[in-house]
Amino acid sequence: MRPPVVLLYFFLTCETFTTSSEPRRRVFFQFKESVNLSSLLLRDDIGQLVVGAKGKVFTLSLDNIAEKTSEAQWMSSSEDKDTCKFKGRATEECHNFIRVLHTMEDGKILVCGTNAFVPTCDYLSFKYGNLSFQGYKTAGKGKLPYNPYTRFASLVDGNTLYSASTTNFLGTEVLFQRHTAKVVKTGYGPSWLYDPTMISLSLVEVSKSSLDGEDDHVFLFFTEKAVEERRYNIEVSRIARVCKSDLGGGRILVDQWTSFLKARLDCPFGDAGSHTLVQDVFLVHNQSNWKDSIFYATFTSNSKSSGCSKTAVCAYKLSDIRKVFSGEFLTESSNLCWDTSTENQPSPYPGSCINNEMRAQGVKTSLLVPEKTLEFMNKHRLMKSVVTPITGKPLLVQTEKQFSKIVIDQVTSLDGRQHQVMFIGTDSGWLQKAVSFDGEDSRIIEELQLFETPQPVNSLKLSLKTGQLYGCSNKEAFQINVRDCSRYTSCDDCLLARDPYCGWDQIRDQCASVVGTSNGSMIQSLDDGDIRICPTSDMKPAIVHLSLGAAQFLPCSPQTNLPVSWSFSNSIRFPGPQHTVLSQGLIIRPSFSDAGLYTCETRETVKGKVHRKTVIQYAVQIQDNNSTVMNLKVAVITLAACCSLVMFFLCCCCLIRHKKAKRQNN
C-alpha cells in the first residue's frame, strides 16, 4: 500500500488563521471555542459550503474552504437553555446544534437546530455574500431529534421535507414522515419501526423514465430490532420503501403510509451469526435506466463472541430491491414464529406505487386504494425475501477500521468506460479511495489520514463542479482534490496505480487527470497496469569500478515498497556465493567474470502478468587493487620505521637532559 499522500486539505478548529510549515498542502483554520460541526450543505450554485455548527451557520468558499465567507448566529435563548437543564439534560446538550440544512426551490436554505431540546426551523438566504435568517421560526418537532447525539435522516424533494427521526423529548417515539400540509407518517408499533436507528433517505425518480407512469419511490435505510428473529433483541439492517405521492388511506391508514414496505438488507461478512449494521448509503442514479441505479452502503459488524470488528461496503441494484418488494410477505403465526403469509394477496398488489394501469382502474391516489389491499397492508409490512448485494458479497471488507460515510464518483476513463470510485470515511479519520474493476475484488488506490487526531468522518460531499471532496468531523473540515494525479511522478507509477482519474500525458511528461480530456497524448492501462506502453526511458547505466575480491555495495532503493530483484547481463543468477541481496542493494565480492551489466528492478504481478520496472543499472568493471595494496604495505612499514626512529631520538634527548640536570644539581 502506498504511504498516505495528503493532497489538499484544510482544518477548521480555531478562529485564528494559521498556516503550518509542513506538510506543504495542509492549512489549519481554527475556532477559539469548540464549534461542533453538525451538518454540511454543498452549494455549487453559489460556490459555498454551508456548515451548520453549535449556535451558528457559516459559509466557506468552495475554492478554498480555509476562507470563511460569512456567518449567521442562532443561539438558544437562556430560558430554553435553563428549561433544558432543569429537565435533566447536560449543559453541553442544551445548545442549538444546527443539524438540518437543505436547499429549497427558491434557493433559500431550510435550517433546523436542536435548540436546547426545543427543535426549531427557520430559513436562511445568502445574498450579496451575506447569510441572513428570515426570522420566521417554525416547530422542528419530528424534523430532527431533540437530542443532538441521536441519529436521524432527512431529505428535501422540491419544497417537501421527508424525515425519519425521534419525535419527543425522551427520544422514545420515532416516525418516518412527509411534512406537507397533509402530513403522512408511519404508525406506532413493531410492524412499522421497532426501536430503530435512522440512517439515510433517498429518492428515486421513477416517473421521469418509467413508461408506465409509476410514482417515484422514497427509500429509508435504518437498523431495528428484528421481530422475525426468535432470539430476542437482535438488531438488523433494513430498507423500507414508500411511494412519493402516497396520501394515506381513505378509511383505514388515514394519514399513514399505505405503501410502507420493509425488508432485511443483507451484507454478508464477519462471523457467522453476527449481524451487520448499515452506516451510510449513497445512491448512484442511472439516467438511462432507473432500475439499474445502485445503492452503495457501508456496514459495520461487531462480533460479541470474538471481539473482532469488521467493516464492509455492499452495493444493491434497484431492480433486485424491486423484486423483493413485489414478492411474498412474512406474517406472525402462532407462538411468535414468523412464516410466509398464506393469505391471498389482493389486487392492486399491496404497497404498489400508483401507475397508469392502476389509474385506468380508477385508483388515482392512495385514498382510493381498495380497503382489501389496505387491510392486508395493515397486517403485512415485512417482506419474506432479503435484499442481497450485487454478486452476493461485499465489494470491500476490512478489519480493524470502521467505515462511516461513503460517496461515489463516476469517472469516465480514456477508453470511454464508466468507473465507480468509492470514497469511504472511517471513524478514525481516514479516507479510503477504492475502485472495483469487472471481475476483480475492489482495490484501495489511496489512503489518506484526514485529521491529526483520530475522529470520525461525519460527512462527505462531492462537488462535480469543482472536482473536490468536502467533509468534516465534529471539529474539523477538509477539502481534497479527487482529480489530483501529481503524486504519481513516473509513467510506470501512473499506470501501475490503475487510478481511473489518472493517465500519463506523453507530451507534458506528467501524470494528469483524464476527467474531461479527450487528449490523444494521454495513455492509461486500467485493466492490467501494462507499463510496456509507457514511453521507453533513456536511462543510462552507471559505470562503476569494483575491486577484485573485496566486498562492495551496489545500492538500489525503489520509491515503492515492491520487492526488488537483480539480474546480471539479463540473466538472473543471484544469489551466488559472492552475492548477497539486501533490501537496499547488492553486496558483491567480485571475480573478473563478474564484470557486466547489473539491473535492479521491481516486480509486480497484476492479473497473472509480471510487470518489471528498472530502478537502476550498473555497468560493472573489475580491477585488481593488489598493487595498490602492496604499495600501501610498503607505506605502512616505512611509516612505522620513521616513528621508531623519532621515538629513539626523543628518548636520547630526554636521557641527555636528565643527565645534564643531575650534574647541575650535584
Footprint on this chain of ligand NAG (rule: CB under 6 A) = 34, 36, 92, 97, 128, 130, 148-149, 286, 288-289, 292, 410, 418, 474-475, 505, 507-508, 519, 521, 545, 547, 550, 623, 625, 628
How far apart are alpha carbons 206 and 217 in whole angstroms?
A: 7
Give the shortest CB-181-to-ligand NAG separation in angstroms. 32
Whose Cβ is closer to ligand NAG: residue 484's or residue 601's? 484
Give the shortest CB-231-to-ligand NAG separation in angstroms. 33
Give the shortest CB-248-to-ligand NAG separation in angstroms. 34
Give the shortest CB-564-to-ligand NAG separation in angstroms. 25
Whole-Å CA distances, 527 to 219, 390, 608: 35, 21, 12
> What is the Cβ-side half-sphere exposure of residue 201, based on CA atoms within 13 angstroms?
23
- DSSP H/E element including 546: strand 542-547
Closest CA to 263 of 333, 320, 343: 320
Give the shortest CB-513-to-ligand NAG separation in angstroms. 11
Name 283's Cβ contacts closer than 8 Å, sequence gap at least 6: 202, 204, 293, 294, 295, 296
- Which grid coordinates are listed for 108? 433559500
Secondary structure in 3-state letters for 370-427: CHHHHHHHHHCCEECCCECCHHHCCCEEEECCCEEEEEEEEEECCCCCEEEEEEEEEC
**CB neighbours of residue 225 within 10 Å:** 15
Closest CA to 485 of 466, 505, 506, 507: 505
Give the shortest CB-459-to-ligand NAG separation in angstroms. 13
Give the shortest CB-233-to-ligand NAG separation in angstroms. 27
Give the shortest CB-263-to-ligand NAG separation in angstroms. 23
Give the shortest CB-476-to-ligand NAG separation in angstroms. 10
- Which grid coordinates are listed for 458? 461525519
How far apart are alpha carbons 175 and 185 in whole angstroms?
A: 7
Whose Cβ is closer to ligand NAG: residue 20's or residue 626's? 626
Q: Do residues 120 and 113 lie in contact, with contact meaning Cβ atoms separated by under 8 Å?
A: yes
**CB neighbours of residue 644 within 10 Å:** 10
How far apart are alpha carbons 277 and 44 in whole angstroms?
A: 32
Closest CA to 595 of 538, 556, 541, 558: 541
Whose Cβ is closer to ligand NAG: residue 18's or residue 91's? 91
Whose Cβ is closer to ligand NAG: residue 247's or residue 315's? 315
Give the shortest CB-82-to-ligand NAG separation in angstroms. 18
Whose Cβ is closer to ligand NAG: residue 384's or residue 419's? 419
Closest CA to 131 of 56, 53, 72, 43: 72
Whose Cβ is closer to ligand NAG: residue 274's or residue 510's? 510
Whose Cβ is closer to ligand NAG: residue 210's or residue 519's? 519
Whose Cβ is closer to ligand NAG: residue 260's or residue 478's? 478
Whose Cβ is closer to ligand NAG: residue 291's or residue 359's? 291
> How many residues are there in the chain?
666
How far apart are alpha carbons 424 and 307 in whole angstroms?
A: 23
The conformation of residue 97, written as its DSSP 8-state character, comes to B
- DSSP H/E element including 201: strand 197-204
Whose Cβ is closer to ligand NAG: residue 36's or residue 125's? 36
Give the shortest CB-605-to-ligand NAG separation in angstroms. 29
Cis omega (within 30 of 0) for bond into 389: no
Give the shortest CB-13-to-ligand NAG separation in angstroms. 10
Whose Cβ is closer to ligand NAG: residue 148's or residue 248's? 148
Closest CA to 531 of 444, 649, 610, 646: 610
Give the shortest CB-81-to-ligand NAG separation in angstroms. 14
End-to-end CA distance of the chain: 88
Whose Cβ is closer to ligand NAG: residue 87's or residue 508's? 508
- DSSP H/E element including 492: helix 491-496
How far apart are alpha carbons 116 and 96 in whole angstroms?
A: 6
Closest CA to 419 of 430, 431, 400, 434: 434
Give the shortest CB-272-to-ligand NAG separation in angstroms. 33
- Which grid coordinates are listed for 511? 501524470
Give the shortest CB-546-to-ligand NAG separation in angstroms. 8
- DSSP H/E element including 648: helix 626-665
Whose Cβ is closer to ligand NAG: residue 147's or residue 373's? 147
Closest CA to 459 of 313, 300, 278, 280: 280
Task: Characterise 508 by phi-psi region: left (phi > 0), alpha (psi -120 to 50), beta (else).
Answer: alpha
Q: Helix (H, G, I), strand (E, B), or coil: what is residue 368? A: helix
Whose Cβ is closer to ligand NAG: residue 138's or residue 410's? 410
Give the shortest CB-284-to-ligand NAG separation in angstroms. 7
Closest CA to 411 of 502, 490, 281: 502
Give the shortest CB-420-to-ligand NAG separation in angstroms. 8
Whose Cβ is closer to ligand NAG: residue 302's or residue 623's? 623
Whose Cβ is closer to ligand NAG: residue 520's or residue 608's? 520
The partner residues of 23 in beta bridges, in order of sequence, read none
- DSSP H/E element including 513: strand 510-513
Whose Cβ is closer to ligand NAG: residue 545's or residue 607's? 545
Q: Do residues 48 and 61 lie in contact, with contact meaning Cβ atoms separated by under 8 Å?
A: yes
